[in-house]
Structure 1
Amino acid sequence: PIIFYLAFILGVSLLSLELTSNNIFTLATILVVMSMIPIALTKITQPEIPARERISVPRLLAISPLALATSFISGMLVNDFFTMVSVFLLKLDFSLGEISLYLMASMIGGFISQLPVAGLSVRIGRRNTILICAVIASLTTSSGIFAIFQTNSTAWLQYIIAFILGCSLFSLYALSIARANDELPSNMNTVEVSRGLLFCYGMGALIAPPFLGFAMGLSSQYGFYAFFGIFLVILLLCALKTKPIPKAEHVDMQLTTPIATASAVEDMLESNEDLVPFNEEAVQEYQAAFSDEEQTNAVHENQETTVQTVVEDEQKSVP
């Protein structure tokens, strides 16, 4: 992810050079060819392609609904941000250089927030970290609507908003993976879960632009931030309805992007060969064990309450 963010920051900075349309495509071709050179010079063997397995979103929803919702909404918002923010800023009369600075500010925010967000999620839990990111991002979108009225310093206010949005939005996908891994049984294969989350991220990215376009059609100035605010509130409500996971059950959070996850899935296959496949029986066993644990805890709580009541009654009966 470090290379990804640095490359993206460098890429959007090229927009400020005000290149012609021919020069842009020429530069893009040169960069693509240069990216192929290390691959062509590296001696690697073709990895064995595993058998294709169906992705079951309902199974993933049964295990970790918050991870699924976070991945889906993250796909919607992050993809909408990159595909439609230029149109939004053009409506605000931003120049090409100002648009590149806005995108650069957002990517810098996403880049420097990865490690702090990972550390925070270890301390307070993934669910609480998702809550914090959703709250910060929703407040930032509200500030973005307010900043539009500030005609004297619109650009600088929007740069600050872009930076904060990058800090809060671009970590949601990694948090969804960490949340799912925390809730998985220790003997369950995680590859299918990562694929499922990536699939949900892609579905969110696929269906979101038309809806955002409709919102911006209703209000070209306020529709962009209003759309983000609505779905961030939905994510906030989803997080509030779930329970945090004890710190002892946390797994190490991997700093990742959807692109990095897609390339890393194959590397995970060898380390997951001895694990149980992601099937319906494993999900049912996990849910049954979780229900039994909750019932046992409830029985213990009832017993403790009964004992405490008896003790209080005895104390009251003593003269």
Structure 2
Amino acid sequence: MLTVLRTTWPLLLGILLLLVGNGMQGTLLGIRGGIEGFSTFQMSIVMSGYFVGFLFGSQMTPIMIRRVGHVRVFAALGSLISAILILYAAIPDWLAWTLMRIIMGFCFSGVYITAESWLNASSTNETRGQALSAYMIAQMVGIITAQILINVDDPAGYMLFVIPSVLVSLAFTPILLSVAPAPAFAAVKRLNFRKLYEVSPLGVVGMFLMGGVFSALFGMASVWGTRAGLTVPQISVFVGAIYVGGLVAQYPIGWASDRMDRRKIIFAVSVVGALAMFAAFVFSPGFFMLSVLGAIAGGVANPLYSLLIAYTNDYLDKDDMAAASGGLLFVNGVGAMISPPITGWLMEMVGTDGFFLFLALNFGMGAAYALYRMLRYPNRVGQFPGAYAVISPSASALAVDKALRAADGDQRE
């Protein structure tokens, strides 16, 4: 691990600072939107903009990198991110925010793809698994740190928009001044969606539903907190609990999934998520219990994302994994893009706790479909499935493919 850190620390430090900036703006907008008087539905449109841009960026970034190279793409997207973080406070209009969120999603998608291809090229087969693990840890630490920084100033002012802008600007300094050469970029082809569904219906349906879960948890949580009357520290604790839960639960669930039918794990954790969110919807618990339930939701959602990718790849040859991952991430992006308006509509129809109802329905549908697949079709994987890898929802198809291959290599040793 020390060797990995010695060679990749500029990239990892840059990613950590970038995620602090991204984590701050995601939570901050939900709080500031309430201060500006935006409706729940308007904020849901604003939040969905990020996922629209992210999906579009995943298609365009490979073309941009091949045309002008990693360094120029990195610098251009970073400049846009830094500028938009300031403009949020300068233009408090929900339509302008929606446009800026689309651009922000596009830019972060490009940054992630560029960084991950760079990280992959700078790692050897022996160190790639450790490098990707360090990358995922840097992302989580950055987002959790962001929730702490939300409390350093008044969200009605400018300072909380200035801080992430500065951090994003600083994030590119160690990366662009690194002596490591920029790698050649290899685009990842996608598997035909019909073929992908034939390979793993559960993988495709599950990833679509997880797109809805992630867009709610990581896009609408602060909107819910503001509407529910939580203070800024409480909102930051609640959002931080979601990420901490995801970080803690990944490894034990992954360990179990490598030793039994993954569909049973997918069903079990989906049921846990559905019950936790249904309890939050029905009983309206106090803040401490809400934070615990938020941690459970994060502890279910993050491993489910990795589980569904690993389960799909159990039925594929290694050469098809990258293409399948690209298809699954696209399906996930579509789910994330259309879900915030549905969440906002539910919150207006049944009250703020419609946020938890939406999550419960998504987890519940995932559990029901997993159960149907288990009862209707036998397990085709056999005794030795492929390896589970810890994967971030922001990871590109290239990073997903390399993480799975590295995990499979570790499992065989």
| Distance in structure 2 (CA, Å) of the matches to 1:267 and 1:108 | 24
Q: 1:218-257 alignment to 2 at 5 Å? A: 218-242=349-373, 243-246=378-381, 248-257=383-392
Deviation per CA, 1:150-184, whole angstroms, max 9, x where unpaired? 5xxx1111111111111111211101110011111
Shift of 1:50: 3.7
Letter in 1 for 2:300: S
| Distance in structure 2 (CA, Å) of the matches to 1:89 and 1:158 | 11
Q: Do 2:197 and 2:204's aligned partners in 1 also have CA atoms closer than 8 Å?
A: yes
Distance 1:22 1:187, change over 3 A: closer
Q: Do 1:88 and 1:220's aligned partners in 2 also have CA atoms closer than 8 Å?
A: no
Shift of 1:262: 4.1
Shift of 1:251: 0.9
CA root-mean-square deviation: 2.2
Distance 1:123 1:110, change over 3 A: same
Shift of 1:188: 4.1
Letter in 2 for 1:27: I
Distance 1:235 1:52, change over 3 A: closer
Give the length in aligned residue pairs: 265
1:120 aligned partner: 256
Shift of 1:147: 3.5
Shift of 1:88: 1.4
Letter in 2 for 1:209: P
TM-score (norm 2): 0.60
Letter in 1 for 2:304: L
Distance 1:265 1:133, change over 3 A: closer
| Distance in structure 2 (CA, Å) of the matches to 1:132 and 1:116 | 14
Letter in 1 for 2:340: P
**Pair 1:171 & 2:303 matched:** yes
Identity of aligned residues (%): 26
Q: Do 1:18 and 1:97's aligned partners in 2 also have CA atoms closer than 8 Å?
A: no
**Pair 1:194 & 2:325 matched:** yes
Q: Do 2:216 and 2:340's aligned partners in 1 also have CA atoms closer than 8 Å?
A: yes
Shift of 1:10: 0.6
1:306 aligned partner: none
SS in 2 for 1:93: coil
| Distance in structure 1 (CA, Å) of the matches to 2:239 and 2:152 | 14
Distance 1:52 1:232, change over 3 A: closer
2:145 aligned partner: 10
| Distance in structure 2 (CA, Å) of the matches to 1:91 and 1:157 | 18
SS in 2 for 1:106: helix
Letter in 2 for 1:146: V
Deviation per CA, 1:237-291, whole angstroms, max 9, x where unpaired? 21112243445331111111122344516868x99xxxxxxxxxxxxxxxxxxxx
4+ long deviations beyond 6 Å = none
Distance 1:37 1:125, change over 3 A: farther
Q: Do 1:182 and 1:249's aligned partners in 2 also have CA atoms closer than 8 Å?
A: no
| Distance in structure 1 (CA, Å) of the matches to 2:196 and 2:399 | 20
Q: Do 1:194 and 1:265's aligned partners in 2 also have CA atoms closer than 8 Å?
A: yes
| Distance in structure 2 (CA, Å) of the matches to 1:136 and 1:245 | 25
| Distance in structure 1 (CA, Å) of the matches to 2:220 and 2:188 | 34
Letter in 1 for 2:177: L
Distance 1:267 1:133, change over 3 A: closer
Q: Do 1:144 and 1:225's aligned partners in 2 also have CA atoms closer than 8 Å?
A: yes
Q: Which runs of 5+ in 1 are unaligned?
A: 272-319
Q: Do 1:66 and 1:238's aligned partners in 2 also have CA atoms closer than 8 Å?
A: yes
Q: Do 2:189 and 2:326's aligned partners in 1 also have CA atoms closer than 8 Å?
A: no
Query: Which of 273, 281, 293 is 1:145 aligned to?
Result: 281
Shift of 1:53: 3.9
